[in-house]
Amino acid sequence: MGPSLSLTEFAPWIQAKFNIPPSMKLLLKNGSIFNLETSKYENRDILIDGHKIQDLGNGIVDEEAQVINLSGFIIAPGLVDAHVHFREPGLEYKETIESGARAAAAGGFTTVVMEPNTSPPVDDPSSIAKVLEIARKSSIVNVYSKAAITKGMMGERLTDIQALKNAGAVAISEDGNPIGDEELMHEALKMSKSANILVSPHCEESKFYREKEQLKPKKPPFLFGDGTQRPYWAEADFIKRDIALTKKTGAKLHVSHVSLAKSVDLIARAKSEGVNITAEATPHHLILTEEDAKNIGTNAKVNPPLRTKEDVNAVREGLINGVIDIIASDHAPHSLEEKELPWESSSGRGEAAFGLIGLETTLALVLTYMVKPGLLALPQAIDKLSAIPAKIFGLAAGSIAIGSIADITVIDPEKKWKIDVSRFYSKSRNCPFNGWDVQGKAVMTIVGGCVVMKEGKIISGRL
């Protein structure tokens, strides 16, 4: 389940959760699987015994197995979303681990990595244990968690990074609150190197960060040439700083939701110099521009904000050429009331929250806007949604092989459908793509050998 469980512990947990007899078998017939040796999709059968893949090939027969014919469908390793906000504990009115996991399964994701900005934040071993225990009881997908870099995510005192790693954290992050103090960030990267844990900064400016910096007697960092600091434009400056600190420490750096052309250039240069850096992009930063935000309204208010068309093209190119390694949703649920506020505060009313939801739309948007136009090949897109994020975050996921955990996403690449937030499993509805026509959909999600979603419906147990 979570990182506190080893693979040997995973099987009995899955079997108990879904009431699967240890001998239960499932035979997936005639689905298309990408063959690395031939670089082609070829029909294959997959025999699942309990929670693992027992056999993979052609013409598999097993009288004890339940057979599912997947002719015409793509069989992919279970999709992995390395950037989600499930809000529990403390903000359950937006989303819970249970509802977020159901949204993940509906979107074809078998594994997710949660951000630590709950209330209170995930900043000590007991809080990691708490969220993983909630997930163990309520989630139908594999749930991992990041932990905060500083206590209370206040940017002042480092957490016990080694203890958080030991308790099951797969990365450390301040979510949207960048660490303004360069010495503190340097120390965090040194400690992460010692603990062998990934550092995943969000190189953006939260409202909390901006207000905190304004209270300081000195000018805020990262001033532009004209002596101003434009709101929510410091992304590339933070990335530049963190790359320099990563060079000094030898730590592992993963940059969340890249949105600027300048950021792509910095990451490309760092990779060419051998810096241990990876990066992600979101569907909304690959598709939408700042002009779209004006038309859509507050459901397109996100941090980092939607950028220019030139930035969108640069992020796309970075994803295509491998500078940006993976795609993640940054699923950030908010209530209707929080998104119906004005874009900016006025007359004391407050302002709309930053963030949008994406677990149930990410795959379709990638297939429609990246694969269908030929910008990404289908195997390349699936890798960026499964094997590569699993590798970056050190997860037992992203593979279809004999002996591996049977986490599988079945995709109908031709299915045309309209995004309808009223049908979402997420508790929230803040999606800027509502009403869009898309092509390609996950039609079955299998977690640990158990079918948890079929044709858009969440189910528990065998078919």
pLDDT digits (tens, 9 = 90+) for 8-18: 344 445 555 65
Annotated catalytic residue within 45, 49, 325, 330: 330
For residues 326-350, average pLDDT = 90
Identity at 34, one-letter amino acid code: F
Integer-rounded Cα radius of gyration of the chain: 21
Per-residue DSSP letter, 352? P
pLDDT at 223 over 70: no
Taking a C-beta distance cutoff of 8 angstroms, is the pair 384, 370 a contact?
Answer: no
pLDDT band at 4 (very low <50, low <70, confident <90, very high): very low
- Identify the residue whose tokens are 């594994």: 111
Closest CA to 389 of 168, 145, 111: 111
Answer with the residue of higher pLDDT: 51 or 1: 51
Q: Give the separation between CA 50 and CA 448, rounded to whole angstroms.
A: 8
Quick: pLDDT tens for 104-131.
999 999 999 999 999 999 999 999 999 9
Strand ranges of the sheet holding 79-84, from the earlier edge strand across to the other edge: 79-84, 109-114, 142-145
3-state percent helix, strand, coil for the chain, nearest multiple of 5: 35, 20, 45
What local confidence, expressed as pLDDT, does residue 6 receive? 35
The domains located in the chain, with CATH, are: 7-75+402-458 (2.30.40.10), 78-393 (3.20.20.140)
Answer with the residue of higher pLDDT: 221 or 311: 311
194: left (phi over 0), alpha (psi -120 to 50) or beta: alpha
For residues 375-381, average pLDDT = 98
What local confidence, expressed as pLDDT, does residue 234 receive? 82
237 is catalytic: no
- Decide: helix, strand or coil at residue 383: helix
Q: Give the separation between CA 196 and CA 202, rounded to whole angstroms.
A: 19
pLDDT at 369 over 90: yes
How many CB atoms are located within 10 Å of the residue 64 CB?
10
pLDDT band at 224 (very low <50, low <70, confident <90, very high): very low
The token pair that represents 117 in the structure block: 């900005």
pLDDT at 7 over 50: no
pLDDT at 225 over 50: no
Kindly report the average pLDDT of the chain as a whole number: 90
